[in-house]
Structure 1
Amino acid sequence: MAVGNGLTDNKDGYRLTGKDTTLASGKQAAYRFAVTGPDGKPVTAFALDQTERMHFYAIRSDLTGFQHIHPTMAADGTWTADLDALAPGSWRMFASFTPDSGAGKGTAFVLSRTATVPGAASKTPLPAAAKTADVDGYAVTVKGEAMAGMEHPMTVTVTKGGNPVTDLQPYLDTYAHLTAFHEGDTAFAHLHPTTKVDSNYGGPELTFNAELPTAGNWRLFLQFQTGGKLHTAALTLNVG
């Protein structure tokens, strides 16, 4: 599990650095950043986590505009995340990584920085808590009662037209990727899959270890792939 909720740019001597504090509105943008270690030098050795060395997330303060990107790293340790068009407002940029050398070797970190997108920003109300979300003709249903600060199993079922979906393709070494953000402070949580990838197709039922540290509303983003296309379903979960 990652260290902390991601709401800081430094942890245990590791720091997320970058000069991009303002990004253009309504068009693609390149967000550049680096991770420095306890010695103050850029980290360039990262372990694979779900097939990637860096997972990058962008989320607007009202929990809209979710993006999950796998950035590229230059030889000097500078990462570039190519973002899709951003709506005006305050955004938080998360970097999730595991150093493969140094004092933090093998430790999963999530660090973040904020960025502003200029323009007239209107807040989108958080949708009410629900157990089901629809995306691209698929229905995603979540089962399990999460309690703050406690690990609980969570089951996700994917259907289409009322029929179970069994052609989920492996994505990031699993059949679905689940990320959550807390309403109000955008705290981060990655819900780890426990369903093993044992064939080219999976579904309809997937299991996760859910540990959401704080009570309140969380916005869940479930990503799964069928026919080579990535789908992202979003729903609100209330945690007691």
Structure 2
Amino acid sequence: MAGTAAALALTLAACGSSNDSSSMPGMDHETKASASPSQSASPSMGDMPGMEHMADGTGLSDTQYGYRFVSKDATLPSGKQTTYRFTVTGPNGKPVTSFALDQTKRMHFYAIRSDLTGFQHIHPTMAPDGTWTADLASLAPGSWRTFASFTPDSESGKGKDFVLSRTVTIPGNPTRTPLPAPDTTTEVDGYTVAVKGEPMAGMAHPLTVTVSKDGKPVTDLQPYLDTYAHLTAFHEGDQSFAHLHPTTKVTGDDGGPDLAFYAELPTSGNWRLFLQFQTGSKLHTAALTLHVG
């Protein structure tokens, strides 16, 4: 995650969760949202742990530096589990089959509806010919955007992080869900997640996420994708993508209660955050609304 205001600077998302999005708290905007107080100086990007894997841009294009996110799936069925297939082609026009590991996975795939509901974060599988298959949970009618996050392990893009996206339509009569107002706390599965920080558009600012339960600090966060939490953010209106790993060092099954992040979001306005953390081998996904000035 690194570059143009690195539309990838807030990240704690539900990686690998292919459960029905309706069963994920916050995925339908029904939980309390979260925003931020406290402000600090903006260190140089090169000095920030966790910023070295940030991709360029906002993730709203299907092409970058000759690499292209390709799929024949322009529509998908609604109301049931479905499969989305795609390839990543390189500058030579051929499917890429060599990818580097990023947080233990060669591909991170995201799907979210235009009103920022229905969030899914999946780790698809790749066939020998470079075709990826993502098994999606039930999708509500409307316009969705799918994101492919990857790092080529060969050719001109070797070692460079990409986030590319495409739109897909789910037929039916969509019902738009209003985005919850910004707040500083939210709850999921009995856990309270609080966010402190005042990110400004185009500038790197520290954020602190604190996890508690029944009023007590949580100190049993387990490593998830080589980190204690995964945070993904989407901008209200255009669905720009942002992703950042916490800078807190992983030492074992004793993470928390505080997790440190650097947030660099390219545009002002409201961002919907999806924070994923794991306890007792169970993945939790908290949804937060953060206002960026």
Q: TM-score, normalised by structure 1?
A: 0.99
Question: Does the alignment pair 1:53 with 2:53?
Answer: no
Cα distance in 1 for partners of 2:93, 2:121 equals 27
The aligned residue for residue 215 of structure 1 is 268
The one-letter code matched in structure 2 to 1:76 is: D
Mapping for residues 153-192 of structure 1, pairs under 5 Å: 153-192=206-245
User: Which stretches of structure 1, 4 residues or more, deviate above 4 A after TM superposition?
Assistant: none
CA-CA distance at 1:196 after TM superposition: 1.3
- SS of corresponding position for 2:244: strand
CA-CA distance at 1:199 after TM superposition: 1.5
Structure 2: runs of 5 or more not aligned: 1-53
The aligned residue for residue 62 of structure 1 is 115
CA-CA distance at 1:7 after TM superposition: 0.3
The aligned residue for residue 117 of structure 1 is 170
Deviations 1:47-88 (A, max 9, x none): 111111100000000000000000000000000010000011
Cα distance in 1 for partners of 2:269, 2:103 equals 28
The aligned residue for residue 44 of structure 1 is 97
Instruction: State percent identity of aligned pairs.
Output: 77
The aligned residue for residue 234 of structure 1 is 287
Structure 1: runs of 5 or more not aligned: none
The aligned residue for residue 146 of structure 1 is 199
Q: TM-score, normalised by structure 2?
A: 0.81
The aligned residue for residue 47 of structure 2 is none
Cα distance in 1 for partners of 2:262, 2:128 equals 35
The one-letter code matched in structure 2 to 1:206 is: L
Cα distance in 2 for partners of 1:3, 1:44 equals 21
CA-CA distance at 1:23 after TM superposition: 0.7
The aligned residue for residue 24 of structure 1 is 77
Deviations 1:138-183 (A, max 9, x none): 0000111100001111110000011001111100100000000000
Cα distance in 1 for partners of 2:93, 2:69 equals 11
Structure (1/2) with the larger strand percentage: 1
The aligned residue for residue 128 of structure 1 is 181
Question: Does the alignment pair 1:2 with 2:55?
Answer: yes
Question: Does the alignment pair 1:76 with 2:132?
Answer: no
Q: Relative CO higher for 1 or 2, CA cutoff 8 Å, sep ≥ 6?
A: 2
